[in-house]
Amino acid sequence: MKIGVSSGSLEVLKRRVVKKDSPTTLYLLVGNKCLNNCAFCIQARNMRKESFMLSRISWPPIELKELEILLSEFNPFKRICLQVTNHIGWKNNITEVINNLKKHNIPISISAPVENLEDVNFLFQKGAERINISIDAAEKELYEKIKEKNWEEKINLIKEASKNFPEKITTHIIVGLGEKENKLVELIRDLSNWRVRIALFAFTPLPGTPLENIPQPSYQKYRKIQIITYLLQNHLIDFKDLKFKDDDLILTKTIIEKTYPYFNEIFKTSGCPECNRPYYNESPRITPYNYPRDLTLKEINEIKLLLENGARVI
């Protein structure tokens, strides 16, 4: 059986070198062409070309046995993340992969096309430590247009799964798909109250997808959502204290000052523990949306300046 390994993870395994921005999680792709038809995804059903890509990252396929050998020789990873496309036989394939990898005693996170609590139970029984149930598009109309799925069913599944498996559910949210900020923040509030971990992504336009011409979100917008997500996820602020004008979140100087003690955490990659997804949303040549490492003092000061220039005094 072949399995995709993210290019960054594969470089660590083969070169046996860990740099400051190397992945701390082993990222694996199970299956490629997907039965789902998400408008932002290179693996979507309507994409004609076969591709070992996910977002802007390549996932070279190798034999599962070869992966096991590489891991037995050098294993600096603190977590395994299995990205599973919706393909025929995905449950059998994920069972084989988990059975071969769990011997390495690394916590396993799985992002799979779960549709109900039975699917969630199945993955935990097989050995998952955490399960991601992706939302991606953060409001009903966008979700049903971009994902071609039912919003209420997905939200209810996440809510029920978080009740059955508290602190064990993650979800992905993509910022920059056209969502209204007030709706996005309301969703972040609800997920935080349900103790669901949120992994934030910046929308990445990929050639050939229906959304290829939509630009990435501005850094100011993305930093604003990173701040509010961190504060709500860690219960450092009440939703009632937030201010909105029309649909937009107002980032006040009071809120910015409240974030200063946490600056080196807020802007790093969010999601499962030990996940840093290096350069998943951007080239290493530009400023990261999600930092895969500790920020430098210069980077912290640049973010402070960016936020203060856009803040409102209330």
Average pLDDT over residues 148-160: 97
Q: Give the rounded percent of residues in the chain with a pLDDT score beyond 90.
A: 70
pLDDT at 159 over 60: yes
Tokens of 24: 């701390």
106-118 pLDDT, tens digit per residue, is 999 999 999 999 9
Residue 190 in tokens: 């609800």
- The CATH code of the domain that includes 145 is 3.20.20.70
Tokens coding 104: 């390495």
Kindly give, in sequence order, each residue whose CB lies less than 8 Å from that of residue 173, ignoring residues fewer than 6 positions away. 135, 136, 138, 184, 187, 188, 198, 199, 200, 201
DSSP state for residue 73 in the 8-state scheme = H
Closest alpha carbon to 270 in 180, 173, 193: 173
Q: pLDDT per residue over 185-215, tens digit each? A: 999 999 999 999 999 999 988 888 888 899 9
- Exposure of 153 in the CB half-sphere (CA atoms within 13 A): 10
d(CA 133, CA 135): 7
**Looking at residue 312, what is its pLDDT?**
58
pLDDT at residue 50, as a whole number: 57
Q: How far apart are CA 30 and CA 93, in angstroms?
A: 7
* Distance between CA atoms of residues 85 and 120, nearest Å: 15
| pLDDT higher than 90, residue 130 | yes
Q: Is the pLDDT of residue 277 over 70?
A: yes
Domain count, the chain: 1
Local structure of residue 289 (DSSP, 8 states)? S
Domain that includes residue 67, residue range: 2-310
How much is the pLDDT for 258?
Answer: 87
